Amino acid sequence: MRLWSIPVLVLSVLPAHAGESAPNPPAPPKPGEACIAGHFRDFDFWVGEWDVYGPKGKPVGHSRIERILGDCVISEHWQGQGGSDGRSHNMFDSARGRWTQFWVDNGGNTLLLHGGLKDGAMVLQSEDGSQRITWTPQSDGRVRQHWESTTDGGQTWTTAFDGMYQKAGSAPPTPAS
């Protein structure tokens, strides 16, 4: 094959419309636009400013949960009565079809959880299955957070935390008897 025939060969395999401009690709979504519907809204019931009470109605902390980063992330700022301070970032991972929470606190602790809605409650569990946290919306607008741990593969669970999130500034709950 002669060298001058190579350009002719290349030109002969190009599509007839090669000289035309390609259609414009779709515009990328505006910040937050991709997170405004579907599973991205599953955890909205937890967003708010909350006073948190233990099972007997005793105050245990305060939590501010807000949407950030274009409404794609639910950010928690926890302040416990005993000086604990923690943060979590929660997001629906559309590539994996699940929610993920990453928790850090001033005690040097971290926790990574995954899961989703189950029977109207958000249930997230650690990858090793030893930790499970369930957030259940109540009919009166409160949210119960129940954190459990297991050391026997889930045969028995122990409560690590049981808190009732109540809108900040509302009347405290009546203590249980």
Does residue 30 surpass a pLDDT of 90? no
Determine the pLDDT at residue 124.
Answer: 98
The whole-angstrom distance between residue 62's C-alpha and the CA centroid of its chain comes to 19
Contact 122, 99 (CB under 8 A): yes
Helices (H), the chain: 5-13
Q: Where are the domains of the chain?
A: 37-167
- Residues 59-82 have a mean pLDDT of 96
pLDDT tens sequence across 107-144:
999 999 999 999 999 999 999 999 999 999 999 999 99
Nearest to 42 by CA among 122, 119, 146: 122
pLDDT tens sequence across 120-130:
999 999 999 99
Q: What is the rounded distance in angstroms from the CA atom of residue 106 to the CA atom of residue 110? A: 10
Determine the pLDDT at residue 169.
Answer: 87
Contact 172, 50 (CB under 8 A): no
Q: What is the rounded distance in angstroms from the CA atom of residue 49 to the CA atom of residue 63? A: 6
pTM: 0.79
94, 105, 85, 36: CA torsion to nearest 10: -10
Instruction: Tell me which of 62 and 173 has the higher pLDDT.
Output: 62
pLDDT interval class at 14 (50, 70, 90):
very low
Q: What is the rounded distance in angstroms from the CA atom of residue 154 to the CA atom of residue 114? A: 16
Contact 144, 158 (CB under 8 A): no
pLDDT interval class at 22 (50, 70, 90):
low
Strand partners, 122: 117, 135
Element (H, E) at 10: helix 5-13
Architecture of domain 37-167: Beta Barrel (2.40)
